[in-house]
Amino acid sequence: MTFRLRPGKKGVELRLHELEAAIMHVVWGRKLTSFTVGDVLAVLERQRDIAYTTVMTTTARLHEKGLLNRQRDGRRYLYSPRLTREQFLESTAREVLDKAIGGRQAMAMLAEKVSEASAHELDDLQALIQKRRDELEERKL
């Protein structure tokens, strides 16, 4: 999933919606390395009136966006951050820079970079190419 830059926002909020950013602030601020939805909810509840399902949905979305790792622990999920705040801000700066260099609008790219989640599919493609190369070389021999 790609992030959209949100005009008029700064820092983490440049790429995340308000609640997503609030959750990440909790995770990074309290240096949570492994947490459940309930852990985040307990902190957020002190700041606002918020439902468990809202936090659960938003946390799942952060996982889909590649910001949180997730693993099943019985009937619940345990989450952990994939990036530090600094790494996330660095990648945001990179994205802004990419846009300044030129987006797809007027630039023909050999290939757009894919998300890290798709890296294993690239490995498959690479293996497919190598296989064809080997086949062709075998035929030559």
Partner 1 sequence: MSEATFPLLGTAIVFLVVLPACALSVKICLLAAERTPGPLHNLTLRYLLLTGSSVLPLAWLVSAGLHQAESGKSAIACLLDHGAAGSCLESGYFALALGLATLASCLRAQHRSGLVRASGPENEQSLRQRIDRVILGFPALAVLKGRVLVTSDQSFAIGTLGLLRPRVVIGAHFADLISDEMLASAFAHEVAHVRALDPLRYWVLQLALAINPAGRFLLDAHADRWFAAREAHCDREAVIHGASPLSLANAIVSAARPRAQLAVALGPSDLSSLRFRVELLLAFAERAPTRRSTRGPSAFAVALALLLITLILPHQTSTKPLDALHAGAEHTVSYLSH
Q: Which residues bind partner 1 (CB under 8 A)?
A: 1-3, 65-67, 82-83, 87-88, 90-91, 94-95, 97-119, 121-122, 125-126, 128-129, 132-133, 136
Bridge-partner residues for 77, per DSSP?
72
In the complex with partner 1, the residue whose CB is nearer, 53 or 118, is 118
In the complex with partner 1, the residue whose CB is nearer, 11 or 103, is 103
Bridge-partner residues for 51, per DSSP?
none
> Following CA atoms 23, 28, 30, 33 in sequence, which dihedral angle do they give, to the nearest 10 degrees?
100
Minimum separation from the CB atom of position 63 to partner 1 (A): 10
∠ Cα 90 96 98 (to 5°)? 100
In the complex with partner 1, the residue whose CB is nearer, 46 or 100, is 100
